[in-house]
Amino acid sequence: MEQIEIILPRFERGCHLITNLIEQYLPALPQTGLLNLFIQHTSCGITINENADPTVRHDLEQALNRIIPEDTTYYTHTLEGKDDMPAHIKNSLIGCSLTIPIRHGRLALGTWQGIYLCEFRNAGGHRHIIATIYI
């Protein structure tokens, strides 16, 4: 088992394809194994989705914003702004970890799959991911 910390640059609010960025941080991968990615935050998420058409990322964010609106009166956790509690709810839906198979020394993502950072805050800052490689 090997473990590294990945510190992502700041991303604006939205869904961002980060597969190449993650792969740049990883050491040489074993022939087979598993990669677990765990994002250490509660106001963003990581997921796998379409990697070819950027409109998918836009539509995913729009759908989440429609399902979980910001301007509602029923949130009580509002100290950090109107995007704070909705960001926590979106994190619970999207998730904070992924497990990806390693095959032939590469991430075994499907042809149209990519790793997304979903930034739910207007000013989220640098995001930290713990990457654990299991052999």
User: Mean pLDDT across the chain, nearest whole number?
Assistant: 97
Tens digit of pLDDT for each residue in 59-102? Answer: 999 999 999 999 899 999 988 999 999 999 999 999 999 999 99
Q: Which of 82, 94, 134 is nearest to 14 (CA)?
A: 94
Beta sheet of 14-17, edge-to-edge order: 14-17, 113-119, 44-50
Assign 55 to helix, strand or coil. Answer: helix
Q: Three-class SS of residue 95? A: coil
What pLDDT, in 10s, does the model give residues 9-57? 999 999 999 999 999 999 999 999 999 999 999 999 999 999 999 999 9
What is this structure's pTM? 0.96
123 contacts 14 by C-beta, under 8 angstroms: no
Could you name the CATH architecture of 2-134?
Sandwich (2.60)
Domain ranges of the chain: 2-134
